[in-house]
Structure 1
Amino acid sequence: MEVTPKVRELYHQSVVGQALISSLDEMIYHGDISPRLAIKVLLQFDRSMQAAFRELVKTKVTYKGGLKEYNFCSDQWTFLLRNAIIKINGTCVIEAKPAIFARLSREDTSFQVVHVVKLYFA
């Protein structure tokens, strides 16, 4: 399964992804590896991250709460919830006021949560 550009961007923005990119840039600068090899390494990193998430991550996070505000701008939805209950694997972990950013999936008409940017604790 091919890694989509948006997912690739999320992997590259992670702490591990940033460290890898920084190391590859330094090795290219010093002539230790070619830019072509660096690209191959990044593509393998993307495939490995996707496989690891598919096989190892079994956690299900759910949000339930009242809708305070919503907005649609630049092909992205923003939902601000009030009195939200966040559950991990069915267990309530926190009551908060999260801001959720979601994009419409291109493969079908379902929403794909990109990430939760802020949690305001109740």
Structure 2
Amino acid sequence: MSYNQISANVAMKVLMQYDKAVNNALATRVKTKLNFKSGKLNTYRFCDNVWTFMLSDVEFREVQELVRVNKVKIVACDGKGVGSRIEEKD
């Protein structure tokens, strides 16, 4: 889109289809559970039904694997009805 190779309308349709495909794959194909623990919650915000968390000293743990990271930003929203908020035009 930034190089004017596709229109904004086509770009929006591609992004919406991508979001639907990723949400479907996560809901139906991913079986792995992951736990995390944060040493500190630096900031949090709830705006327009979107939560944003800034964490530090975070441990991610899967069954036999542990990963430690210094900083993590988590953005979370309700996945239900996401496509209904964006108007499609032909």
TM-score, normalization: structure 1?
Answer: 0.41
Is 2:61 aligned against 1:86?
yes
Q: Could you say which residue in structure 1 is the equivalent of 2:83?
A: none
Q: Which sections of structure 2, spanning at least 5 residues, go unmatched?
A: 46-51, 79-90
Is 2:66 aligned against 1:95?
yes
Is 2:34 aligned against 1:62?
yes
Q: Which amino acid aligns with 2:9?
A: K
Q: Residues of 2 paired with 1:53 and 1:61: CA distance?
A: 17
Distance 1:48 1:101, change over 3 A: same
Distance 1:102 1:55, change over 3 A: closer
Give yes or no for contact 1:64–1:86 (8 Å, CA) kept in 2: yes
Deviations 1:61-115 (A, max 9, x none): 52233x3222116x34212245x2432xxx43x312133213464x6xxxxxxxx
Q: RCO greater where, 1 or 2, for CA within 8 Å and sep 6 or more?
A: 2
Q: 1:47 aligns with which of 9, 12, 16?
A: 16
Provide runs of 4+ in structure 1 moved above 6 Å. none
Distance 1:43 1:26, change over 3 A: closer
Q: Give the paired residue count.
A: 68
Greater Rg, structure 1 or structure 2?
A: 1
Q: Residues of 2 paired with 1:38 and 1:78: CA distance?
A: 34
Percent sequence identity is 6
Q: Residues of 1 paired with 2:76 and 2:21: CA distance?
A: 24
